[in-house]
Homo-oligomer: A and B are copies of this chain.
């Protein structure tokens, strides 16, 4: 055990040699500032040993660039065997009396990088060890103040080589938020801004970046080359987005084409000479900076390469020609073999067809021009893998990368406002990518950066240390979140407060993945099964917790909390409330009920809260993040925000007529009073469930005429919170009646039905009557312990609540917490194992009781995953009551289609895929087995309902059915 006193009264100086790399020097100064934040004292940063005044100093250096380290090695003060020859590694060691000729320096904390980024990562590791979060700037994580820092080392700190070679993010869709923020704070998207971006990337142990490009030209706006120069200094490897080849930003062509001719056409058929020269100048300009060169070609502005008339083969021909020219250019400029020039080719959207081949054309797959090039695959823009390399595929010399999305501008909905990533889903898909061999490059579209600090941290750490956070750690996301919260808030808050923050983040990322705010609308959630009511209550509960927590937290935690937790989550939750209010407003307006007006008022309040939370966020730390929450966040469909409106507030004027509306709470049916043609009262059967003993019905009004009412019932087992009353429509348009079930009075005679009669006497003398039925039952199912019970004409079982699980060779279904849309789900492991052609498959088994022998619909609610093979299908297997397993298509072939497939869009929008299959069941106990097929088959819920009785609409699935207790 070694100890290093970094700070106690005095603070250690930071020393690097004059020969040290500029980037290392720069970061050494940044770390010095970090330490100032913790200690209130700024370490002296120097390259002149004589200037060091502290007895303990920090030394940083890079292997192969440091005579000092060489001398230390020679003097056997240390060895660097652990990192020698490795990428981006560092070692941190304490060296006693490092300088014979400077005995005043008693100890040195030596941070040695195997290369520049290794040294930098090591320096930032020191910051973290002292309590400085990587999000000190971007997350406003104010470090805890310390009066001393003693670092204890059991062993040297030796970093691992990063798991994924190129790890980084893409600033994209950056207007209005990031763009306006940069303009206000730095005057442009320039080097002052990128200084903060590069620093973040490196603190997160990333190494690769795609710069903002909507209206920016990275290599021109620094000003001039300053952005690119600074990146290189920092050791940031620059890329450009998938449609910006050869170091040229997308906007450059139209700005500069006149240098190359009169034709502004971005066509490699009609204008290839000009474009080639344009590319050449781009590469020459950025020649000396570390980079990965994007090759290939797409249309301008992220569009199709050629017109709609062109065939796949036409496109392939042009692409081949362009890539050949590009390779030739690069060979000439760099004067080396192509394999030494890092290149990336992105297989994005329609480029897939050109790569894999389609319509009888062969594709670029075996094209020599992409040899040694990193093939960058893409998720489906919504965080889900597709068309990934399979075991049977030929290995690709350049390796594979993945372009992943935490932010997206396009169909079916753009999401650019806040974070909507559930870490578990990202973990589940990204670990699959890694397991399937995508390890060369991970780049994530992170939008404006701000707002995505939390998932970005996870993404970078997962890419950096797969051993720790990867597939073997089923609890990775939760464990990461706990660690992340500690990194941001330190020890200043209690563990219960940390848990609350965790809960808020979980609720926020659960609900925002249930439905991104941009795609919310008043019709998403339904009144049936209390869905709107329950969702509203869940949201208001967590908001109340967040508000209480905000009031409780110590001052120094407030900026991080408000910036990364409170305002984003509250702003998001408020969009939920706003749409739920609007939903109820529209439902009641459609009914003509005066209750609608109450919802209209609260809807308008929620709309004003939308602006309130935005303003609150923009005012954090005197406006530090002004503009960052300005993105469209309602009805943001496809490419533009032209649908951006708040929901309409609907108001009802009462009709001059006595007209009541009676409805059961949480159900969309209603009754306008008994009518001679209407023979069947509305009915509530919730209390058929043994665990429900109370329901509510509401008496609303369409007219302005007040009434007296009295309630009678033909059964003793029901009682009411009120048996009569008087309306006061002006003050209170709704009268709610609680209905209580006394199960002792109900008896055991099977299903019983009560008739409730409500008599109305209106002030204008009109007499009306409404009839309601309530069903209840005391049936005993104890002979089927653990089985789920059909009530209200449905069964819903959460997939994790199986009665039995059978593995094969230790492989099979595992519960993954929070993987499902609203809760846990199951997934088969190992993820590379495909069971489709196996004769025996692992399975889970469910027991359930249905009320009649008849035809049912079995509806699987599955996570909306894509086929892993391009054009491939996705299949599931199930069996009912021990029949032979049957297969069913979850996704047929030709899915996605560049984002235009309807079923794919449904999944991307609703975050669920529903597959309905007719089955026959027998009255009483039945079994369902669900078999492992492939890793992308993830059941969340199993819903069963009679074929002839449509299930009332829900968004989330009905509540889980009653389960007979185990003995």
- The residue that A301 contacts in the complex, of B590, B655, B675, B676, with Cβ under 8 A, is B676
Residue of A590, A614, A634, A657 with most partner-chain B CB within 10 A: A657
Query: Are B672 and A642 in contact, with the CB atoms below 8 A?
Result: yes
A652 at the interface (CB under 8 A from B): yes
Which parts of A594-635 form the interface with B (CB within 8 Å)? 596, 600, 604, 607-608, 610-611, 614, 630, 632, 634
List the B side residues contacting A651 at CB < 8 Å: 600, 604, 648-651
Which parts of A660-679 form the interface with B (CB within 8 Å)? 672, 675-678
A102 at the interface (CB under 8 A from B): no
Distance between Cα atoms of A646 and B675 in the complex (Å)? 21
List the B side residues contacting A645 at CB < 8 Å: 592, 652, 655, 702
Distance between Cα atoms of A614 and B655 in the complex (Å)? 12
Distance between Cα atoms of A657 and B646 in the complex (Å)? 12
List the B side residues contacting A137 at CB < 8 Å: none
User: In the complex, which residue of chain B has the Cβ closest to the Cβ of A632?
Assistant: B657
Distance between Cα atoms of A300 and B702 in the complex (Å)? 30
A589 at the interface (CB under 8 A from B): yes
Query: Are A650 and B653 in contact, with the CB atoms below 8 A?
Result: no
Query: Are A649 and B657 in contact, with the CB atoms below 8 A?
Result: no
Interface flags, A231-269, vs B, CB<8A=1, else 0? 000000000000000000000000000000000000000
A640 at the interface (CB under 8 A from B): yes
Query: Are B644 and A655 in contact, with the CB atoms below 8 A?
Result: yes
A656 at the interface (CB under 8 A from B): yes
A639 at the interface (CB under 8 A from B): yes
A116 at the interface (CB under 8 A from B): no
The answer to whether residues A649 and B653 also contact, given A301-B676, A676-B301 and a CB cut-off of 8 A, is yes
List the B side residues contacting A672 at CB < 8 Å: 642
Distance between Cα atoms of A644 and B675 in the complex (Å)? 14
Distance between Cα atoms of A21 and B610 in the complex (Å)? 83
User: In the complex, which residue of chain B has the Cβ closest to the Cβ of A600?
Assistant: B651
A659 at the interface (CB under 8 A from B): yes
The answer to whether residues A675 and B614 also contact, given A651-B651, A653-B604 and a CB cut-off of 8 A, is no
- The residue that A659 contacts in the complex, of B630, B644, B652, B653, with Cβ under 8 A, is B644
Query: Are B592 and A656 in contact, with the CB atoms below 8 A?
Result: no
CB distance from A909 to the nearest CB of B (A): 21
List the B side residues contacting A614 at CB < 8 Å: 656
- Chain A interface SS verdict (over half): loop
Query: Are B655 and A634 in contact, with the CB atoms below 8 A?
Result: yes
Query: Are B702 and A640 in contact, with the CB atoms below 8 A?
Result: no
Kindly report how many copies of this chain are found in the complex they form together. Answer: 2
List the B side residues contacting A600 at CB < 8 Å: 651
List the B side residues contacting A655 at CB < 8 Å: 634, 644-646
Query: Are A675 and B589 in contact, with the CB atoms below 8 A?
Result: no
List the B side residues contacting A702 at CB < 8 Å: 644-645
Query: Are A675 and B642 in contact, with the CB atoms below 8 A?
Result: yes
List the B side residues contacting A589 at CB < 8 Å: 648
CB distance from A440 to the nearest CB of B (A): 34
Distance between Cα atoms of A656 and B630 in the complex (Å)? 8
List the B side residues contacting A639 at CB < 8 Å: 677
CB distance from A760 to the nearest CB of B (A): 16
Query: Are A675 and B607 in contact, with the CB atoms below 8 A?
Result: no
Query: Are A650 and B649 in contact, with the CB atoms below 8 A?
Result: yes
User: In the complex, which residue of chain B has the Cβ closest to the Cβ of A634?
Assistant: B655
Distance between Cα atoms of A630 and B703 in the complex (Å)? 13
- The residue that A653 contacts in the complex, of B301, B590, B607, with Cβ under 8 A, is B607
Interface flags, A293-312, vs B, CB<8A=1, else 0? 00000000100000000000
Distance between Cα atoms of A659 and B644 in the complex (Å)? 10
Which parts of A193-241 form the interface with B (CB within 8 Å)? none
Query: Are A640 and B604 in contact, with the CB atoms below 8 A?
Result: no
The answer to whether residues A652 and B646 also contact, given A675-B640, A677-B640 and a CB cut-off of 8 A, is yes
Interface flags, A103-135, vs B, CB<8A=1, else 0? 000000000000000000000000000000000
CB distance from A302 to the nearest CB of B (A): 11
Distance between Cα atoms of A659 and B646 in the complex (Å)? 13
CB distance from A251 to the nearest CB of B (A): 12
The answer to whether residues A648 and B644 also contact, given A301-B676, A676-B301 and a CB cut-off of 8 A, is no
Distance between Cα atoms of A589 and B646 in the complex (Å)? 10
Distance between Cα atoms of A644 and B592 in the complex (Å)? 8
CB distance from A520 to the nearest CB of B (A): 15
- The residue that A648 contacts in the complex, of B604, B646, B652, B656, with Cβ under 8 A, is B652
Distance between Cα atoms of A657 and B644 in the complex (Å)? 9
- The residue that A650 contacts in the complex, of B607, B648, B657, B678, with Cβ under 8 A, is B648
Distance between Cα atoms of A630 and B648 in the complex (Å)? 31
List the B side residues contacting A640 at CB < 8 Å: 675, 677-678
List the B side residues contacting A634 at CB < 8 Å: 655
Distance between Cα atoms of A610 and B656 in the complex (Å)? 9
Distance between Cα atoms of A653 and B647 in the complex (Å)? 8
CB distance from A588 to the nearest CB of B (A): 10
Distance between Cα atoms of A577 and B684 in the complex (Å)? 41
Distance between Cα atoms of A465 and B645 in the complex (Å)? 63
Interface flags, A34-47, vs B, CB<8A=1, else 0? 00000000000000
CB distance from A185 to the nearest CB of B (A): 15
Interface flags, A580-593, vs B, CB<8A=1, else 0? 00000000011010
List the B side residues contacting A607 at CB < 8 Å: 653
CB distance from A253 to the nearest CB of B (A): 15
Distance between Cα atoms of A301 and B679 in the complex (Å)? 14
Distance between Cα atoms of A646 and B593 in the complex (Å)? 11
Distance between Cα atoms of A375 and B630 in the complex (Å)? 75
CB distance from A20 to the nearest CB of B (A): 44
Distance between Cα atoms of A7 and B604 in the complex (Å)? 72
Residue of A600, A639, A651 with most partner-chain B CB within 10 A: A651
List the B side residues contacting A677 at CB < 8 Å: 639-640
Distance between Cα atoms of A649 and B659 in the complex (Å)? 19
Distance between Cα atoms of A610 and B677 in the complex (Å)? 29
User: In the complex, which residue of chain B has the Cβ closest to the Cβ of A301?
Assistant: B676
Interface flags, A671-697, vs B, CB<8A=1, else 0? 010011110000000000000000000
User: In the complex, which residue of chain B has the Cβ closest to the Cβ of A646?
Assistant: B653
User: In the complex, which residue of chain B has the Cβ closest to the Cβ of A631?
Assistant: B657
List the B side residues contacting A604 at CB < 8 Å: 651, 653
Complex A-B: 12 CB contacts under 8 Å: A590-B648, A592-B644, A596-B648, A608-B653, A611-B656, A632-B657, A644-B655, A646-B652, A648-B651, A649-B651, A650-B651, A651-B651
- For the complex of A and B, the 3 pairs showing the least CB-CB separation, nearest first, are A592-B645, A607-B653, A649-B651
- Interface residues in chain A, defined as those with a beta carbon under 8 Å from any beta carbon in chain B: 301, 589-590, 592, 596, 600, 604, 607-608, 610-611, 614, 630, 632, 634, 639-640, 642, 644-646, 648-653, 655-657, 659, 672, 675-678, 702
Known contacts A604-B653, A644-B655, A646-B652; 6 additional CB pairs below 8 A are A589-B648, A592-B645, A600-B651, A608-B653, A630-B657, A642-B675
